[in-house]
Amino acid sequence: MLKKTLLAAILSSSIYATEFITIGTGGVTGVYYPTGGAICKMMNKTQKETHIKCTVESTGGSVYNIKTIQADELDFGIAQSDIVYQAVHGEGKFKDKPFKDLKVVMSIHPELLTLAVRKDSNIKKFADLKGKIINIGNPGSGNEATVKLLFKTSNELNITDIKPEQLKSSECPNALKDKKIDGYFYMVGHPTANFKDAANSVDIDLISLKDVPAAQKLVKEKSYYEWGTIPANMYKGVKHDTVTFGVKAVLVTSSKESEKAVYTMTKAILDNFEDFKKLHPAYKNLTKEDLLKGFDHSLLHPGALKAFKEAGLIK
Ligand code: GLU
């Protein structure tokens, strides 16, 4: 009997010794999904010592990730900085239930609200979207929330003036090629496999939003929106720069997450920063200081704060 109990104790202690954590990301052809993979890769290097194993899940995106962390069903998630702000302040999709326990680990790459259209769609500017079938993002994506806000802010076009679709981002390149949609919005880091897929299967164009009054208003009024440029020739056939607005992708968790896990994760990125940067071209210009941009530092999880202080990035 004693032997059996002892065996059970040994077995359970070896099982429970490993802490499993999951990072919620986005569609498989976006940048969140490979970013989750890159973070876990850095973190799992020290798995033998830390006994923490990191895994990644493809999800619907920002809103889904934050809501699922809020429901205690996910440990970490990547989310747009505008959605992070709204979650903490009880705005938008979080109007009925603000997420007061949301904590930030770090911010990562910049994302830009990108409008891709089929070249033969006759769409040259935002106002031309009238009557067109446009994917605005799947339910649960941050993309959907930002696109809806853009239309709500706009005086020139209502969302009812377009025919909105809600396909998953990974389905959009094919839907564009098959003429099921005329264009799609995607708030994402660049370059991304998604637009490469699209540009390689059909002639596409990217539409600048810099002259759209609603976009100008959002950038002027909201500190988390910024202008950015998708350079010419990043995607096949798009020979001009595209200026649009965007956010930062932010890695978030809950205050309930252990200090050890958050510290290990943050330290893994800081200690292996050059290796991390090689894992995706969207991190090309990233500096360690950038990891602290795009969110209120009072939201930093204590584990992340400790790692940033040790690295001398926060006093
Ligand atoms: N920003 C997108 C969203 O939350 C996801 C982008 C990505 O997966 O890289 O809807």
Could you read off the pLDDT of 120-151 as tens digits, one per residue? 999 999 999 999 999 999 999 999 999 999 99
Please report the atom of ligand 1 found closest to the CA of residue 143: 10
Separation between Cα atoms, residue 153 and residue 215, nearest integer Å: 8
pTM for the full model? 0.94
Ligand 1 centroid from CA 240, angstroms: 24
Mean pLDDT of the chain: 95
Ligand 1 centroid from CA 286, angstroms: 18
Confidence of residue 6 (pLDDT cuts 50, 70, 90): low
User: What's the average model confidence in pLDDT over 108-114?
Assistant: 98
Separation between Cα atoms, residue 289 and residue 287, nearest integer Å: 5
Percent of the chain's residues with pLDDT above 90:
94
Separation between Cα atoms, residue 181 and residue 281, nearest integer Å: 28
User: Domain-by-domain residue ranges, the chain?
Assistant: 2-109+249-310, 111-247
Percent of the chain's residues with pLDDT above 70:
95
Ligand 1 centroid from CA 12, angstroms: 38
Cβ(188) to ligand 1 under 6 A? yes
Domains 2-109+249-310 and 111-247 share a fold: yes
User: What's the average model confidence in pLDDT over 104-113?
Assistant: 98
Query: CB count, 10 Å around CB of 248?
Result: 23
Ligand 1 centroid from CA 30, angstroms: 6
244 near 262, Cβ under 8 Å? no
- Tell me which of 85, 112, 143, 148 to substitute to probe ligand 1's pocket, judged by most ligand atoms within 8 Å of the beta carbon: 143
pLDDT of residue 298: 98
Q: Has residue 205 got a pLDDT over 60? A: yes
Amino acid at 102: L
42 near 124, Cβ under 8 Å? no
Cβ(140) to ligand 1 under 6 A? no
Q: Residue 101: CB partners within 8 Å, gap ≥ 6?
A: 70, 254, 255, 256
pLDDT of residue 17: 79
Ligand 1 centroid from CA 14, angstroms: 37
Residue, of 4 and 216, whose pLDDT is higher: 216
Q: Which fold has domain 111-247?
A: D-Maltodextrin-Binding Protein; domain 2 (3.40.190)
Q: CA-based Rg of the chain, rounded to a whole angstrom?
A: 21
pLDDT of residue 8: 52
Q: Which two tokens stand for residue 87?
A: 């979650």
- Tell me which of 67, 136, 186, 190 to substitute to probe ligand 1's pocket, judged by most ligand atoms within 8 Å of the beta carbon: 186
Q: Which fold has domain 2-109+249-310?
A: D-Maltodextrin-Binding Protein; domain 2 (3.40.190)
Cβ(36) to ligand 1 under 6 A? no
CA angle 244, 247, 248 (to 5 degrees): 135
313: exposed, middle or buried (C-beta count within 10 Å: 0-12, 13-18, 19+)?
A: middle
Three-state helix/strand/coil letters over the chain: CHHHHHHHHHHHHHHHCCEEEEEECCCCCCCHHHHHHHHHHHHHCCHHHHCEEEEEECCCCHHHHHHHHHCCCCCEEEEEHHHHHHHHHCCHHHCCCCCCCEEEEEEEEEEEEEEEEEHHHCCCCHHHHCCCEEECCCCCCHHHHHHHHHHHHCCCCCHHHCEEECCCHHHHHHHHHCCCCCEEEEEECCCCHHHHHHHHHCCEEEECCCCCHHHHHHHHHCCCCEEEEECCCCCCCCCCCEEEEEEEEEEEEECCCCHHHHHHHHHHHHHCHHHHHCCCHHHCCCCCHHHHCCCCHHHECHHHHHHHHHCCCCC
pLDDT of residue 15: 54
User: What's the average model confidence in pLDDT over 182-211?
Assistant: 98
Backbone angles phi, psi at 84, to 5 degrees: -60, -45
Cβ(195) to ligand 1 under 6 A? no
Cβ(138) to ligand 1 under 6 A? no
Cβ(170) to ligand 1 under 6 A? no
User: What's the average model confidence in pLDDT over 5-30?
Assistant: 76
